[in-house]
């Protein structure tokens, strides 16, 4: 038994849930569509380029939650999952997860997307553990503030080590990490079995140079 660690966006699903969430909010008039969409698109471009200011992005992405109750946002989460995520779930990703579960591995998704967006998706995929960017709730209401170390780039490594410290029975020995993005190179370099999944060009080049396994879940 070992850790099977998965990135989420463009790895286990055929799209970026964070970007789609922004588009979904715009389409339903929950934000100022024109202004929000432009910034959402620019932040996504920054992410793909590896230049994202994660703190600025979280301040932007979480602002629509400010003052909203957990119950109200739960309704958004259900509708977003049905509208935008279920159509891009990948059968091969589900099979990959099932294979690791059958092997007795511990299943963990680690993502730079916030937990409001990702928790329902990870639950739907049947993965037990999630590390995502934390979101503050006070008295059942979202404050619009992020909490903790963002699980982005080197932050994924930091958050994973903290997670392991709380679970003495788990370790990185024999761990596998699946990702599509060069932003995940800090963690890919730390595991015994890095796997590039439908990788972006920079990760594809690094995987080829390093002899890492490359797979597709979209075939």
* Catalytic residue positions, numbered: 7, 9
List all residues 6 or more positions away from 2 whose beta carbon is below 8 Å from its beta carbon.
105, 106, 173, 174, 175, 176
- Per-position DSSP letters for 118-141, written without gaps between them: HHHHHHHHT-SEEEEEEEEEETTE
d(CA 187, CA 114) in angstroms, rounded, equals 18
Token couple for 111: 């993502």
d(CA 2, CA 171) in angstroms, rounded, equals 8
- Per-position DSSP letters for 8-26, written without gaps between them: -BTTTBSS-HHHHHHHHHH
d(CA 91, CA 95) in angstroms, rounded, equals 6
List all residues 6 or more positions away from 42 whose beta carbon is below 8 Å from its beta carbon.
none
d(CA 216, CA 43) in angstroms, rounded, equals 26
Q: Sheet harboring 106-114: ordered strands across? A: 141-147, 129-138, 106-114, 3-6, 176-179, 193-197, 213-215
């Amino acid at each position: 038994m070992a850790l099977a660690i998965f990135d989420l966006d463009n790895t286990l699903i055929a799209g970026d849930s964070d970007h789609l969430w922004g588009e979904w909010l715009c389409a339903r008039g929950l934000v100022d569509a024109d202004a929000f969409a432009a910034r959402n698109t620019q932040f996504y471009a920054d992410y793909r380029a590896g230049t994202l200011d994660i703190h600025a992005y979280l301040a932007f992405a979480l602002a629509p939650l400010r003052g909203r109750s957990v119950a109200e946002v739960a309704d958004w989460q259900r509708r977003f999952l049905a509208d935008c995520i279920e159509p891009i779930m990948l059968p091969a990703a589900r099979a990959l997860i099932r294979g690791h579960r059958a092997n007795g591995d511990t299943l963990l998704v680690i993502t730079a997307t916030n937990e409001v967006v990702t928790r329902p998706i990870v639950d739907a995929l049947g993965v037990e553990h999630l590390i995502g960017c934390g979101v503050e709730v006070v008295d059942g209401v979202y404050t619009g503030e992020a909490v903790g170390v963002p699980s982005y780039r080197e932050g994924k490594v930091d958050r994973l080590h903290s997670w392991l410290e709380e679970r003495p029975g788990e370790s990185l020995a024999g761990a596998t990490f699946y990702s599509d993005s060069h932003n995940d190179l800090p963690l890919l370099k730390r595991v015994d079995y890095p796997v590039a999944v439908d990788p972006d060009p920079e990760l594809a080049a690094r995987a080829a140079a390093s002899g890492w396994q490359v797979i597709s879940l979209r075939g």
